[in-house]
Amino acid sequence: MSSAELAEEVFDDLDLLRSRDPRGLLPAVAGAGAQVRETARLTGEVGLERVTAGGRPRGLVIVARREGAVAAMVLRALLGPASPVTVDVVPGPALPVWMGASDVAVVATRTGAGRYAVAPAYEAARRGVAVVGIGAEDAPLHAACARARAPYVALPASRVRHTTLWSLLTPMLLLADQLGLLPEGVADTEVVAAALDEIAAECGPARESFVNPAKTLALELLDALPVIVAEGPLAGAAAGRVGDQLATLAGLPVTGFRLPDQRVAARAVLAGPLAPEGGQDDFFRDRADDAGRRLRLLTIRDADAGDSDGASERKPRSAAEAMQEVLRTAADSNVPVSRLAEHGEPDRHPRLCQLARQLAVADFTAVYLALALDHERSRPS
């Protein structure tokens, strides 16, 4: 029996999935919509007006790592190059030297602990910088924000590691909305939550592999060397998250490229020495005959990426044109292609909701791969 057949047996056995998931990753990613709603409610209760009442700041600095940094990159990509406010993402513990009383600092971390989170909050308060904290209940960061009389979004203890992206992104979206940095309706958390609920229904463990986008993608990536190619900055932020989840949860070596600026490197990899030696990819082949892993292109599209990104380059002048070049190279090199969350009717979804769908499918995929490979039970306690 091939590895794909074994994995499909795992995917369709609910009891086996549950036994291989001691941390409850599957329920956690399935509850992303509920996570958005709960976090939006918690954010509404902390009094962001203490930060936003003074009007638009000069700069917005987000102190974050891992999931928090991805959330910050998503926000920065949504704001785009025309943002009236400079948005910087730093890992901590140091703050940029230029920060002062006319700026806002957001410290976002699942745990709310550690020097990289607590020190920036105290330093921001010392400089007179307005602070917003996001972290666990009763964490050291909570105490630092309380001392500075700064709003703090306290995340419930039920949040599971590697599945808290939306808990960290939701307060950032609501803050940016209250500061007037986002177009009206972009930060509609209920619409985002509904999109996440829709994907949870499509990708849940009870849905069989052949009609489940996440299980299908997991089977395609099972024996693959994924090459992620993202169309523009927002898709690029998503690509960072997807690559991190596949590496961290499933142990897959992943490489990623953002278009149009990295199109040359992406095409070189797809046409390079790791490309198939010949013959079209056959999904129904006997993978037991494969020699090692095979390149697989995973595309993340953003129809609103725009034509100006990469305008300094001669050709192509848009991310969409660069994506077509990459797809042609993949076809010429017999590299199979997977398209993230392009099933259904993606054009009917607002930009942030489309991103939410892509990230949700990717999260489910990474978890299914981890459970198929039994990585969770093999983790050190």
pLDDT of residue 342: 81
Arithmetic mean of pLDDT, 179-207: 95
Asked if 374 and 23 count as a contact pair (C-beta separation under 8 A), the reply is: no
CATH class for domain 31-189? alpha beta
Highest mean pLDDT among 3-12, 266-275, 284-293, 298-307: 266-275
Residues 346, 351, 352: CA angle, nearest 5 degrees: 110
Arithmetic mean of pLDDT, 81-107: 95
Nearest to 295 by CA among 314, 309, 281, 305: 281
Nearest to 221 by CA among 110, 302, 295: 295
d(CA 168, CA 71): 6
Arithmetic mean of pLDDT, 251-278: 93
Is the confidence at residue 283, as pLDDT, over 90?
no
Asked if 146 and 131 count as a contact pair (C-beta separation under 8 A), the reply is: no
Residues 48, 175, 241: CA angle, nearest 5 degrees: 135
pLDDT of residue 365: 98
Arithmetic mean of pLDDT, 132-152: 97
Residue 53 CA: distances (Å) to CA of 48, 104, 116, 215: 8, 12, 28, 46
3-class DSSP state of 16: helix
d(CA 231, CA 56): 30
pLDDT of residue 1: 47
pLDDT of residue 228: 98
Cis omega before residue 171 (within 30°)?
Answer: no
Asked if 153 and 71 count as a contact pair (C-beta separation under 8 A), the reply is: no
Q: What does the DSSP 8-state code read for residue 379?
A: S
d(CA 297, CA 358): 15
Is the confidence at residue 177, as pLDDT, over 50?
yes
Is the confidence at residue 6, as pLDDT, over 90?
no
pLDDT of residue 187: 92
CATH domain 3-22+212-372 topology: Rossmann fold (3.40.50)
Is the confidence at residue 286, as pLDDT, over 70?
no
d(CA 127, CA 116): 17
Nearest to 326 by CA among 251, 249, 277, 259: 259
Is the confidence at residue 273, as pLDDT, over 60?
yes
Radius of gyration (C-alpha) of the chain in whole angstroms:
21
d(CA 341, CA 301): 9
**pLDDT level of residue 309 (50, 70, 90 thresholds):** very low
DSSP per-residue codes, 163-217: --HHHHHHHHHHHHHHTT-S-TTTT-HHHHHHHHHHHHHHHSTTS-GGG-HHHHH
Burial zone of 348 (CB within 10 Å; 0-12 exposed, 13-18 middle, 19+ buried): exposed
The residue with tokens 């990613």 is: 29
Arithmetic mean of pLDDT, 343-363: 84
d(CA 7, CA 12): 9
Residues of the chain with CATH 3.40.50.10490: 3-22+212-372, 31-189
State what percent of residues in the chain have pLDDT above 90.
Answer: 82
